[in-house]
Structure 1
Amino acid sequence: KSNSFCTLLVRFYHSTMATPKKVSRKSTKSTSQSKKAGLVFPVGRVGSQLRKGRYAPRVSKGASVFLTACLEYLTSEVLEVAAKAVIQRNKGKRITPRALTLAVRHDADLGALLKDVTLSRGGVVPKVEKALDKKKKSGKKSKKSSATPKV
């Protein structure tokens, strides 16, 4: 056993050198793209739908995050308007398809965006044409009853 400087250096180097088998990785939980972006809607699923849809040859990660954020914002706006409409009409605490339809149609921006959309079980906005309204009776009395008899 020679304890030369080179031998000691090689032993020390090999004992401290980390090989892939010896290195213990700290197990960290993976964070989803939605969590990283601060969104509730699934960014990964929207991204995979973009890729499967073949809308473009290549789709970046930023595109799926942006589209997911837009979808989440629009959904929150529609639900907010519908919730306000339900509360104002004292119709309970449940948002129905009818409440969604009425809320969207009465809002100018959402109505323009969703003008060609038909919501299932939503019905239509009640509207009566002016031509179909009942005509008001005039307050004039007939000539016979109002005329004074001549003597």
Structure 2
Amino acid sequence: MVRKSKSFRAGVIFPVARFKRYLKQSQPAFRISDSSAIYMSSVIEYLVAEIIELSGNAAKDNKKVRIIPRHIQLAVKHDHELGKLFENVTIAQGGVLPSIHSALLPQKSKQKDLESQDF
């Protein structure tokens, strides 16, 4: 009989047994079922896949082949749901989103607008 891991049987890549061990360590008074560890590992796997996909698109937009923390920052902040999830998270070496406050933009003068309308 060939031994199969819990991750293999559940069809996920992330380690189910390790998640179960960490859940047991965090709350030693509670019983932890296998299905809770499977659910947690599948949710974490989905989030990581989503972040990696969006970060890869950001890297491709910047004509790079490697994903750096800046690409992760751009991907997370441009996605509404991930932005909400990561709103209080600081990504090291991520930088800031490129934006210019409207008060800092040059104002159009009314004189130039009036001159351009007189044809």
**Which TM class, normalised by the smaller chain length?**
0.7 to 0.9
Q: Which is helix-richer, 1 or 2?
A: 2
1:101 lines up with 2:73 in the alignment: yes
In structure 2, stretches of 5+ residues that fail to align are: none
Quick check: 1:60 aligned with 2:33? yes
- The match for 2:106 is 134
**1:120 maps to amino acid:** A
Q: Which residue number in structure 2 is paired with residue 81 of structure 1? A: 54
**Residues 14-37 of structure 1: CA distance to partner in whole angstroms, max 9, x if unpaired?**
xxxxxxxxxxxxxx3311000001
- Counterpart position of 1:114: 86
Q: Note the residue ranges of structure 1 that are not aligned, 5 or more in a row.
A: 1-27, 142-151
TM-score, normalised to structure 1, is: 0.69
- Larger C-alpha radius of gyration, 1 or 2? 1
Q: How far off is 1:45 after superposition?
A: 0.5
Q: Which amino acid aligns with 1:130?
A: S
CA–CA distance in 2 between the matches of 1:66 and 1:56?
20
- Rounded to whole Å, the distance in 2 between the matches of 1:97 and 1:63 is 31
Structure with bigger RCO (C-alpha 8 Å, 6+ apart): 2
CA RMSD of aligned residues (A): 1.6
Normalising by structure 2, we get a TM-score of: 0.87
**Identity rate, percent:** 35
- Go from structure 1 to structure 2 and tell me whether the alpha carbon gap of 1:113 and 1:39 turns closer, same or farther (over 3 Å shift): same
- 1:126 counterpart letter in structure 2: P
- Give the letter aligned to residue 45 of structure 1: R
Deviation string 1:108-144 (CA, Å, 9 cap, x unpaired) is 1111111111111111112211011122344267xxx
Distance apart, 1:57 and its partner CA: 1.0
Moved more, 98-107 or 55-64: 55-64
Q: Is 1:125 equivalent to 2:108 in the alignment?
A: no
Cα distance between partner residues in 2 of 1:83 and 1:97? 11
